[in-house]
Structures are given as structure tokens and as C-alpha cells.
A and B are shown apart, each in its own frame.
Chain A
Amino acid sequence: MSEDSNIKSAPISFNDEQVMLLDTAMSFCREKSSVARVRDLLLSDSGYDAGIWQEIVALGWTGIAIPEEFGGSELGVNALVPIAETMGRFLLTTPFISTTLASQMILQGASEEQKTRWLPGICEGLIASIAITEDEGSWDLEDIRCKAIAHEDVLHLSGSKTFVFDARKADIFVVSVMYEGMPALVVLEKDQLNENALRREVIIDETRRSFRLTLDGVQVKTRNMLPAGNTISTLAHLNMLANLLLSAELAGGTAAVLNVVIEYLTTRKQFDRLIGSYQSLKHPTVEILLGLESMRSLVYHAATVWDEQQREVAVRMAKAQACEAAIFAGDRAVQFHGGFGFTYECDAQLYLRRALCSQLLFGDAAHHRKHLAPLLLS
């Protein structure tokens, strides 16, 4: 942190709108997403409550970082962070993150005409998703095998995408393909998909819904392709935004699982003592707290400097810290519950399994440290 930043712009700022959003998100998520409700939804097909999604749309959260001219409220990316954090905390699963990532890709990379075509609908509740990852599970977003070949004004797609979240309910998809030897982004609408194009994937996190999307035989007008010159910067933008929002979610989940641990340590007795009085449990619980505090500081810093040059360093630091500290927290939470922790009934597994999945999306801690090294050590 340069000393100048103390005076000119704070390394973490949190304006009144964000304070209000955090408050609103806390009361909303607390009310809508009790752990019992989360567990009910684990068994459901869609994984979320359509009524709650409608309320989220009505609150304006799907347009919060979209300019007013396209129907949003233009509060910027840093307004997304308190919402994502709180959703992570209460495991409130809706297509909010998928939709936001897709809409921000469109905002970043689409032509004015395309933005006008899709963004107002998203602000009003269209569900969107991104189809970026492929069979190799690579975190290199430019490593693409799917293809688009143009015949006159129609693109013929082929190949398959994986980890397409919320795909069953999605109205539109932002898909990465190779086109004339270069990465390109195409927006698909759901009626352009073939029957049986979607196949549910079984993933470690049961709060999410992940799908394999087969593109073979899909045809879409070339006017659905984003301008070629924007592809690389849009993928980079997605990479940063996804990591920021995942880090915020992980911070929320860690805060929640810490409270699960504290609750157990202050009520469970063994050998006639509350187990929280044992230092072998107390000290690692403090370590969870310290990991959480660091994570939140890095996350809110990354949100603050989102539009500045430090963005990449800040986001990668946040994700590296978030992955490691969230997994430590979930891992210890299971262990500290003893035999109960080994059961499906113990809530610790919900947070651990979500964190395990989140760390593997868009790069884990070691991956981000590797990419930080040249930025910090050159």
C-alpha cells in the first residue's frame, strides 16, 4: 500500500449505499435461507426457490451493476460484493452469480445493439449463465476446443462445455468458442439448444446445479457473436469478476462456519468440560477467525480498487487467501464436531463442500499465487 493511498483514496472504502445493501442483504438472506431451507433445496431439481429469485429481481440486484441506460441502477461492481458475501454466508443459492457473470461479460464485450438486446431483460429477471469451461477443467479461459464455423450469417457450433451452472433454468448463455482460429464469445438463447443438450453433473457441492452443455448441431445467427476485438479483455474481466465474487462468497461461508464451530464448542461437553475450553480446539478456532479477517479485508480492498490498476493483484490475493482460509475453516469445523461431524446431518459439511467447489472454479490458491509472483516480484 503506498502511503499516498492513505490520503488520496482509501485502500478500503465502503459507502452509504454499500452499508445499506449489506444490511438489506443480511436481513433478506437470514429470513429466506435458514439452514433447514437450504437442506430442503439440496434435494430439489432446480436447487433454488423461484419465488425468492423473483424477490431478488424485484430488489433490483440483477441490475445493480448495469448502467441505467440498460435498465440497471449503475452502482458498480463493488455493490455486488456485500450481496455475494451474504448469499455465501446463508448458502442462499439462486442463479444470481451465474446471471451476474453473464451480464457483466455482455456489458464488457458486447456491441451497443447487443447490450440493448439482452441487458434490460436480465435486469428484469431473465436468467443467464456462462459456458466457458471444457472437459480438461482448465483455468486458462483461452484454452478452448469448442468451435464455431460461419455459413453466411449463421454460426454452426460444435463441442461441449462443462460446469455450466443453473443451465436448466437459464434463458441465455455466454459461450466461448474458437472462431477462425481465435477465441470468440457467442450468446445463445435457450430455444437454440438441442433437446438433451444439457446433462446434470454430480459435483461435490450439493447447493449448486452444474450441467454439461453439448453444442453439436447448434445454429445461431452471427449477430449473436460479440465483437471479436473484445474477446480477450472480456474473458480477463470474467476471470477477475468470478474470482472476486467467489472470494466474497467464501468470506461469507467462513463467517458462517465459524459460528457453527463456536456454537458447538460452547455447548458440547466431553470429559465434563465444554470442549471450547480445550486449547487444542480454541487456538485453531482463533486461526479460523484470523483467516476470515484477512480474507474480508482483501475482498473489500479488491472491490474498492476494482476500477484501478491494482485490480488483478487485489483480486488474486483475495482469492488465494479466501480459498485457503475457507477450506481450513470447513475442514476444522468437520473435525471439531467429532463423530457428528462425520455425518450428513452436521452443517459443517455444507460449508466445506461449497468451499471445496468454489476454490476449484477460476483457480485455487496455488494457481493465484503462481500468477501473483510475476506481478509482485518482477
Chain B
Amino acid sequence: MQENRASLEAFKAEVVAWFEANIPEQPGFLLPESFMEVGTDQQFEFLRTWQRKVYEAGYLGMSWPEAYGGGGYPQAYQDIVTSEMARQNAPFMMNTIGLNWAGPLILHMGSEDAKNRYIKGILNADDIWCQGFSEPDHGSDLGKVQTKAVLDGNEYRVNGSKIWTSLGSYAKYMILLARTNPDTESKYAGLSFFLSPMHVPGIETRPIRKLTGEYGFTQTFFNDARIPTSCIMGNEGEGWQVAMTTLMFERGAAGGQAGGISMIDLRVDDVVELAREAKRDGAPAIEDYYVREQLVRFLIEEKANQLSRVRARIPALVSERPSAIAMSGKLRTSEFRRRLCQLAIGLQGANGARFIGDSQSADAGKWPRSYLNAFSATIGGGTSQIQANIIGERVLGLPK
């Protein structure tokens, strides 16, 4: 135990030094803050190069099996790296859907062939992954998926459309939920789950312009696209269960992710800095009683969220509702981020109205942009309102 601890500490020192030496300079353009915001080729190439560098240094997928390209280390090593990336404000690992959702799923239930084929490309960012769950007519209600996959020889013929495809323009593969049987009694029973190629005839992506004016998502159209039967995950008709397993990884409720950060954390300390510079009634905003009260509230909330992650790993302290902390993670942190941005904008007085591109905007327009982009997490992956339903029903046992 003691040895293990010492070697973890030595490892941490090595990691600190590596990131200090290797984090790239800010490029001459604004970087996205999460994998859902990669809107230009410049941003994409910058982030892909960075992920590859981190992987090649041995700091990504450390707990994944060596045989498929992982590091074969205990999870604690990757956790150290991930914390250090966050602490040093490193750019995020852009291939998030592969690293944290599809990858763990493939390792969890994929065939030997799938593990050999996909895992390394996920880690070194050669193969970008996207997700095809939501559809234009029903965002959070995945049971209503209408995109059809019809068996035709040794292929499925796919027709329909998916929306909110992050990295859609860059992805080589998609985790795709489609309806293989339209006639089942339960809407969930007719679904199947695919590791679908994106670069086949009949699949087209069209960028979606976001409320900020930037890009980052696509709508994906399937028009008689043919994908091999071998890319199904699980059996035909088991798509719902596979999708739920994927969502467990997505929501962080199950371990096994490759690690690395997938978004830039906004910290209350950054807003505290802003409050030192901003003025209120002729004095630094940080001296304003109301501003201090707000900042302290956020600091308490931030601390509680950090601590809850630790407490979730102590069974005796979560025995009444073991899943409550993990299941509420997205709801808590996404809403926290949105509200924190609102506070930051408000601190700047009239200058809070300045947007990306204005030469006088604070932090290059980061705060209003982050605020508007924060909705991607309060809406994507099940809106906060749906999250509250899920927690109410599954954690508290309230009726539907």
C-alpha cells in the first residue's frame, strides 16, 4: 500500500512536469470549450493533434487493456492525469464520444474484432466518433426513434435523420440507435444499436448554426445508406438496453472511461478574478456585499459537488440512495455552469453585453459565449427537466 502510494506520488510529479512542458500555447483563434462546440477545421485540427500527443505520451486510456492500445494501469493513474489536465487548464480531449461512451461500451460488450478495430483509433484520435440518438421530432424521448434500419442481405438499409450530432462533420463512426422492427408492442423493443460507419454513400451531414452564431453540431441524413450487419452491437431488438448502458457511461454513472477532460471547467475562482477587476459604484466589485454573497454561494456549491464525487465512493455514506450522486451529476454541474456564467456577465456592468469578436470584451467574449453554450449541456443528453424526472422516478421512486 505504502509503495503504491509512493509510486502514485512519483507518477503525479512526472505528469505535472509533462503537462507544464507540453500544453500548447493559445492559438491565434478562440478555442471551443467542449467537444460539442468544435465548429471550424482549425479548431478541430488543433485539438486532434493535442489529443494524439497526450495519447502518445501514455496519458490517455491508461486503464484500458494494453492489447487494444490502452495502458493497462490501475484507474488511479488516469485519474491523476485527468485532474492535472483540469488543474493546468489543458485543452480538452476532443474525441469524447469515443473515449467516454463508445469506447467503454465496446470494451464492456463488444466482440474481440470490434475491440481490435476501434479502440486504438479512438485513443489516438485517428477515428472520430459521433452519436446518433436524438432525432428532430423527439429530443429527450429516445424510445420514439424513427430512423429505420431494414435488413437486406448482409447489410442494413438505413433511412431517416439524426440531429445534434457533435463532431458530425469529422466523425468516421457513429453510435447509432435505429428501429429495426416497427411492429413491436413496446416502442423500446424494436430498436437496435449500431457502430455505424459515416463515410458510406447515403449519409450526409449538414452543419447546424447555434444560438451563438457558431457551428458545432450537424444534422445527419440517412438516405438508403447501407451498413454491414456486422456493426450491430448486441442482438437485433436489444438497442434500448445497449443505449441505456451507453448513457450510464455518458452520465458518468459507470466507470471505464478513457479519461481526460472533455470540456473546459469554468471555476468560481475565474469569476472571483473577474470581480477583482470589475467595478461597482466606484469600488472593486469584489468589495460589494451582494457580489461577495453570490460568489460565496457558488464556492460552496462547487465544493459540495467536488466532495459529493468523493463521498459517492464511500458505500456507508451513500447507502440510502447509492445512485443519487452519480445520477444527478449532469443536472447539478450543467445548471451550475449556466448560472455561474450569468453571474460573470452581470459583473461586467454594461460591458457584459460585449460579445465574441469585440476588442473590448472581457476574456475575448468568453463569458457570454460560455453562457449561451452552457445550454448544450442543460439540454443535450436529456434536458434538465427530464433529468429531474429521471431522478425523481428512479432515485426517489416517485410515480411517472
Residues of A within 8 A of B (CB): 1, 3, 6-7, 10-12, 14, 18-19, 22, 255, 258, 262, 265-266, 273-274, 276-277, 279, 282-283, 285-286, 289-290, 293-298, 300-301, 317, 320-321, 366, 369-370, 372-373, 376-377
Contacts and interface: CB of A to CB of B under 8 A. Distances in A.
Contacts of B296: 320, 369, 372-373, 376-377
A236 to B, nearest CB: 20
Contacts, number: 134
Interface in B347-393: 385, 388-389, 391-393
B324 A293 contact: yes
Contact of B317 (A12, A273, A377): A12
A294 B385 contact: no
Interface in B67-83: 79-80, 83
Given A294-B308, A377-B272, A14 B314 contact: yes
Closest 10 CB pairs of A and B: A294-B304, A297-B307, A276-B398, A282-B392, A373-B292, A274-B399, A277-B399, A297-B308, A19-B316, A369-B296
Contacts of B395: 286, 289
Do most interface residues of chain A lie in helix, strand or loop, or is the interface mixed?
helix
A296 B304 CA distance: 9
Interface string B294-306: 0111011101111
Interface stretch (B4-12, B40-48, B134-142, B227-235): B4-12
A289 B8 contact: no
A7 B317 contact: no
A277 B389 CA distance: 9
A283 B331 CA distance: 12
Nearest to A274: B399
A283 B388 contact: yes
Given A3-B83, A297-B307, A298-B300, A277 B314 contact: no
B206 to A, nearest CB: 34
20 contacts: A1-B306, A3-B87, A11-B307, A12-B311, A273-B399, A276-B392, A277-B399, A282-B389, A283-B388, A285-B398, A286-B391, A289-B324, A289-B391, A317-B299, A321-B300, A321-B304, A370-B292, A370-B293, A373-B296, A377-B292
Contact of A12 (B12, B300, B307): B307
Contacts of B396: 258, 262, 285-286, 289
Nearest to B5: A7
B3 interface: no
A76 to B, nearest CB: 17
B75 to A, nearest CB: 12
A114 B96 CA distance: 63
Contacts of A285: 392, 396, 398
Interface string B80-103: 100110010000000000000000
Nearest to A279: B389
Contacts of A286: 328, 388, 391-392, 395-396
B177 interface: no
A307 B389 CA distance: 41
A375 B303 CA distance: 14
Given A6-B83, A7-B9, A372-B296, A294 B397 contact: no
Contacts of A262: 396-398
B347 to A, nearest CB: 13
Nearest to B398: A276
